[in-house]
Amino acid sequence: MANDPNEVDVLEQYFEEVIRAMDIRFTSHEFFLRLAHDHQREYVAGLFAYSKGEYPFRDLHHALAKRLKKLEGKLITRRKESYPSKDIFGAASHSGLWKKL
């Protein structure tokens, strides 16, 4: 997207690969965790791109979620907009719930 750092573009290249590795249903948080695990160097670069802000994880994840939504109807469908989920730190939160097509 126009205002996102290039590092988000790099991470987006791996979305299809990561989606294929996910269970049939998955949350955005689970997707972020898998992306971080499988592409650690690129994920850290993405965090660094947002490091001047107060919440780099939140800001990176919001950018990634916008990109994930672009795949709706192609590779995935959103089952719920706000689904109870633990974030990357294990804290109770909400995220999108997705299903592979």
Tens of pLDDT along 49-100? 999 999 999 999 999 999 999 999 999 999 999 999 999 999 999 999 999 9
pTM for this predicted structure: 0.94
Distance CA 23, CA 31 (A): 10
Give pLDDT, residue 73.
94
pLDDT of residue 1: 60
Distance CA 33, CA 26 (A): 11
Amino acid residing at 9 = D
| Residue closest to 82 by CA, chosen among 92, 96, 72, 70 | 96
